[in-house]
Amino acid sequence: MESFDVLIVGAGLSGIGAAWHLQDKCKGKSYAILEARDAIGGTWDLFRYPGIRSDSDMFTLGYNFRPWTESKAIADGPDIRRYVNETAREAGIDKKIRFGHKVSHASFDSHTGRWTITARTADGERTFSCGMLLMAAGYYSYDNPYNPHFEGEDSFKGTIFHAQHWPEQLDYSGKRMVVIGSGATAVTIVPVVAQKTAHVTMLQRSPTWMVSRPATDKVANFFRSVLPDMWAYNLIRFRNVVMQNFVFKQARTNPAKVNARMTEMLLKEMPAETVNAHFQPSYNVWDQRLCLVPDSDFFKAVNAGKADVVTDHVDHFDEKGIALKSGKRLDADIIVKATGLRLQVLGGATVDVDGQAATPNSRYVYRGMMLEGIPNLVYVFGYFNASWTLRADLTCEFACRLINEMDKRKTPIAIPVRNIDVQDEELLLNSGYVQRALDTLPRQSSTDPWRDTQDYLRDRKSIRNDSLDDGTLQFRPLATASSPVLAEAAE
């Protein structure tokens, strides 16, 4: 069995970032990355639908240690993939990746203070050992997207697939396409395919809040022309963080005002009857992630008549297309299900501590980075209300602080132990994919540190500076006859 100080699971944006921070802050630690797929990039390699792009700006979705230097702030998928790949290659991280290793189980032994990790490979199971486990496995299932089966779906004679598995060779020129869904994926696909299809319809059950932003940030590009890359990057990053934070807080404290402002902006993009019929959600702005429309591309496609939006429900499918509950129908050659993701915790791996199953959904999150009763495991989970990487960077910095602190104290085990009663609190966002997965997610409370604050500016201070001696995170020796195993804390 191969042994490492640290194992990172996942070679996406977060896993590559984690390796970079580890190399930078915990010099000399041995590590490897176990990656289920055969490529670096995670999300930005998996998703191949036309127009795949970020829906937040790259000044905040980029790493805090590497400036984003492309001209577009709302970046195309291939550019993000290249950014992650280049980061890995330049730092030599690519050499540490074991591709085709899907982690299925992690088992902690408090007599040795080490994890045994089981990974499935094409040649059977392999095991590894490590002291610290850094889970950077993203938040959704790569194999099983949310793919509801509609009545009569099998009788449809055209092409049908889920957007997460877009067929590479698909020719949609001159075809009639229906995209089911109203989230970021549908809103990205529709204006791009509209350039070639005979017609494309976005079929939504209910509207989503959308806002247009320029794909290219002129102010940022000006700063970049006069300042060194990293200075300009940090400046724009800070501006964007403050702006996003302001809008989110306004939406929470004064939702009616923010809803009205968003509607005003939509009315500048499209006729009032279109806005009223299809763009007035029943929820408040930022109760779900705000959907970005770069350079108004989606609105332009609708205004030009190349695309339309239908708000209705699928009754059933037939040979030619979709019969709707209203009695209308949508005939199609191609139907794309942009119905969303299926959330997944810890990359779908199971965990035990001293032989006792340790399920995430029975535990509170510790600072949104560790789980109560599970030692030596840090997981990366980004923000819902801001770019993922803002939190991924902070989490990896925290993991490095923790590793160094354990070395300093010569204690092989660090475990968050909850010694107070706390009240469950609902998650901040009510998006469908979050609601569907509530029973699998770790618990949140309203009491620090047993919650994920979703507040970058607050986290930046506390995660970097708060003492690790917070009365909750316990540094322990190995289990012996006089020092009990951790199982009792685990379940």
Ligand X SMILES: Cc1cc2nc3c(=O)[nH]c(=O)nc-3n(C[C@H](O)[C@H](O)[C@H](O)COP(=O)(O)OP(=O)(O)OC[C@H]3O[C@@H](n4cnc5c(N)ncnc54)[C@H](O)[C@@H]3O)c2cc1C
* Bridge partners for 201 per DSSP: 178, 308
Q: Which of 8, 14, 109, 224 binds ligand X (CB under 6 A)?
A: 14
Site map 360..379 versus ligand X, x via CB under 6 A: --------------------
User: Which of the residues 421 through 460 are near ligand X (CB under 6 A)?
Assistant: none
Span 327-366, contacts to ligand X by CB under 6 A:
347-349
- The secondary structure of residue 215, as a DSSP letter, is S
Among 190, 351, 380, 463, binds ligand X (CB under 6 A): 380
CA 56 to chain centre: 12
Q: How far apart are CA 143 and CA 164, in angstroms?
A: 9
Report the residue number, 200 or 349, with the smaller CB distance to ligand X: 349
137 binds ligand X (CB under 6 A): yes
Tokens of 142: 């790569």
Q: Which residue in 184, 212, 161 sits closest to 43, CA to CA? A: 184
Helix (H) / strand (E) containing 258: helix 255-269
Neighbours of 359 (CB within 10 A): 17
In the window 308-327, what residues touch ligand X (CB under 6 A)? none
Query: Which of the ranges 197-205, 215-223, 251-259, 380-388 carries the binding residues for ligand X, by CB under 6 A?
Result: 380-388
DSSP string, 20-78: HHHHHHSTT--EEEE-SSSSS-THHHH--STT-B-SS-HHHHS-TTS---SSBSS-BHH
Position 261 contacts ligand X (CB under 6 A): no
Compute the distance between CA of residue 47 and CA of residue 338 in angstroms, rounded to an integer: 12
User: Which one of residues 12, 62, 113, 321 is an interface residue with ligand X (CB under 6 A)?
Assistant: 12
Q: Are strands 377-379 and 124-135 parallel, antiparallel or unpaired?
A: parallel
83-122 positions binding ligand X, by CB under 6 A? 102-103
> Closest approach of Cβ 475 to ligand X, in Å?
27
CA separation, residue 135 to residues 41, 157, 434, 453 (Å):
15, 42, 20, 20
Task: Give the binding range for ligand X (CB under 6 A) out of 22-30, 41-49, 146-154, 408-416.
Answer: 41-49
Angle between helices 388-409 and 456-465 (to 10 degrees): 10
CB of 94 to ligand X, least distance (A): 13
Among 25, 37, 165, 436, binds ligand X (CB under 6 A): 37
55 binds ligand X (CB under 6 A): yes
Listed in sequence order, the DSSP H helices in 97-178 are none
Q: Which of 136, 186, 371, 400 binds ligand X (CB under 6 A)?
A: 136
Contact criterion met (CB below 8 Å) for 274 and 302: yes
Query: Closest approach of Cβ 422 to ligand X, in Å?
Result: 27
Count, residues near ligand X per rule CB under 6 A = 32
Give the shortest CB-125-to-ligand X separation in angstroms.
Answer: 13
| Footprint on residues 174-233 left by ligand X (CB under 6 A) | 185
Give the Cα separation of 472 and 469 in Å (integer).
Answer: 7
- Interacting stretch for ligand X, rule CB under 6 A, among 53-61, 218-226, 299-307, 423-431? 53-61
Binding ligand X (rule: CB under 6 A), the pick from 7, 8, 11, 189 is 11
Q: Is 62 in the site for ligand X (CB under 6 A)?
A: no
If one counts every other C-beta atom within 10 angstroms of the C-beta of residue 156, the result is: 17
CB of 18 to ligand X, least distance (A): 9
Q: Contact positions toward ligand X, by CB under 6 A?
A: 9-15, 34-37, 42-43, 47, 54-56, 61, 102-103, 136-138, 142, 185, 347-349, 380, 382, 387-388
